[in-house]
């Protein structure tokens, strides 16, 4: 039953250069070829934008893993696990002396099953990667990330620690703030049934605390405003994005989107990007057991939200992409899915021109 619940919540949850116009320059509204990396539920762009880390979720035909993707070439390589096993370098690394998470140990070989991710820089040389995990335990796994010094060399990833999830809950997305808090969207499960969820934050001194005013039906994505003053959370079944302003008297605003809202991210101009799809959770679970299932053809969407007015300035239909995340990478939008065989891409300019729909190539064969 637990696996079934996680699957439902998760569902809610070549030429590799830009297409060229006749002039030889990338056309702002031409399709960019997809990347054949499957089940990318979430992505985290690393400082400098040369690399991102992708979280590939498990399905009947795909094993979960964390991948480094070189954004200029779309080349990717698996960082964790190493060939399905725990690497000796990761196993020998002890948690930092400042961590007080009560994490028992690194996951055993084959247990890791990642979901939402977030990267936190700690120095010019690297930082920490937070990964929501469902395998072996409900937790946030913490990895040290070492940024590459040479062009073409992938970042290095080593397991460091974990934070056990609040008892009886299933996590989805994770984020952080400069004051040391780690935030997560969680849904309590009682007798096999999801209950009203919320945002929880964790500190080394106090453990988990519920964020006042954050109750949400099946919370999925989370994003933090660049100044840390506002928190955004999405709800798949209610098709809403909620803005929270923490304080003694928390403020809350909501905006509706036209699809099931999943992961959130912050664009370079400060806008909130919402990735999601149009489909009922039961239909998604029934139709998408594998990333390349022919029945898994739900229409994906991206919406742009103006944070000042909390209004939707553009919504794009992306075709049968089963989108769960939308992230800006340079001048491109990258779209991932927990149940699709590729990462789809489109120019950021599409959100400004807003044609209503954009062909990312999901309906055509042979796009790998």
pLDDT in tens, 296-307: 999 999 999 999
Percentage of the residues of the chain whose pLDDT score is greater than 70:
86
Asked if residue 17 has pLDDT above 70, the reply is no
Q: Given this model, what pLDDT does residue 275 score?
A: 98
256-308 pLDDT per residue, tens: 999 999 999 999 999 999 999 999 988 998 999 999 999 999 999 999 999 99
According to DSSP, the residues that pair with 327 across neighbouring strands are 334
Asked if residue 128 has pLDDT above 90, the reply is yes
How far, rounded to the nearest angstrom, does the alpha carbon of residue 292 sit from its chain's CA centroid? 20
Q: Given this model, what pLDDT does residue 351 score?
A: 95
Model-level pTM?
0.89
Q: Given this model, what pLDDT does residue 102 score?
A: 80
Q: Given this model, what pLDDT does residue 29 score?
A: 67
Do residues 260 and 276 make contact, with C-beta atoms less than 8 angstroms apart? Answer: yes
Asked if residue 341 has pLDDT above 80, the reply is yes
Rounded to an integer, the average pLDDT of 338-348 is: 95
- Please report, for residues 55, 87, 229, 265, the alpha-carbon distance to residue 117 in angstroms, rounded to integers and kept in the order given: 7, 20, 21, 11
Higher pLDDT, 361 or 308: 308
- Please report, for residues 66, 116, 167, 180, the alpha-carbon distance to residue 90 in angstroms, rounded to integers and kept in the order given: 14, 21, 26, 24
Asked if residue 68 has pLDDT above 60, the reply is yes
Q: Which of 140-144, 217-221, 289-293 has the lowest mean pLDDT?
A: 289-293
227-249 pLDDT per residue, tens: 999 999 999 999 999 999 998 88
């Amino acid at each position: 039953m637990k696996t079934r619940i996680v699957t439902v919540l998760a569902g809610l949850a070549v030429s590799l250069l830009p297409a060229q116009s006749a002039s030889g320059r990338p056309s702002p509204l031409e399709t960019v070829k997809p990347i054949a990396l499957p089940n990318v539920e979430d992505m985290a762009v690393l400082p400098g934008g040369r690399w991102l880390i992708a979280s590939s979720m498990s399905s009947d035909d795909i094993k979960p893993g964390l991948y480094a993707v070189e954004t200029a070439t779309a080349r990717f390589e698996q960082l964790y696990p190493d060939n399905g096993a725990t690497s000796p370098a990761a196993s020998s690394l002890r948690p930092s002396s400042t961590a007080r998470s009560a994490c028992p140990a690194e996951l055993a070989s084959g247990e890791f099953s990642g979901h939402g991710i977030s990267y936190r820089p700690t120095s010019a040389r690297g930082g920490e990667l937070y990964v929501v995990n469902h395998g072996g335990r409900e937790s946030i796994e913490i990895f040290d990330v070492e940024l590459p010094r040479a062009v073409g060399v992938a970042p290095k990833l080593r397991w460091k620690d974990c934070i056990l999830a609040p008892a009886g809950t299933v996590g989805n997305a994770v984020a952080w703030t400069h004051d040391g808090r780690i935030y997560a969207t969680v849904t309590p499960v009682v007798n096999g049934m999801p209950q009203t969820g919320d945002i929880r934050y964790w500190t080394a001194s106090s453990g988990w605390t519920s964020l006042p005013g954050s109750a949400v039906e099946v919370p999925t994505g989370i994003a933090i405003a660049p100044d840390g003053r506002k928190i955004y959370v999405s709800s798949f079944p209610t098709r809403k994005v909620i803005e929270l302003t923490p304080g003694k008297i928390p403020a809350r605003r909501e905006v509706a989107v036209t699809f099931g809202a999943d992961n959130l991210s912050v664009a370079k101009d400060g806008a909130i990007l919402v990735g999601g799809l149009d489909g009922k959770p039961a239909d998604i679970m029934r139709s998408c057991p594998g990333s390349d299932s022919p029945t898994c053809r739900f229409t994906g969407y991206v919406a742009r939200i103006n944070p000042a007015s909390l209004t939707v300035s553009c919504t794009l239909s992306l075709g049968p992409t089963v989108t769960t995340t939308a992230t800006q990478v340079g001048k491109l939008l990258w779209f991932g899915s927990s149940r699709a065989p590729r990462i789809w891409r489109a120019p950021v300019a599409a959100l400004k021109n807003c044609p209503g729909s954009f062909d990312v190539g999901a309906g055509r064969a042979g796009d790998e």
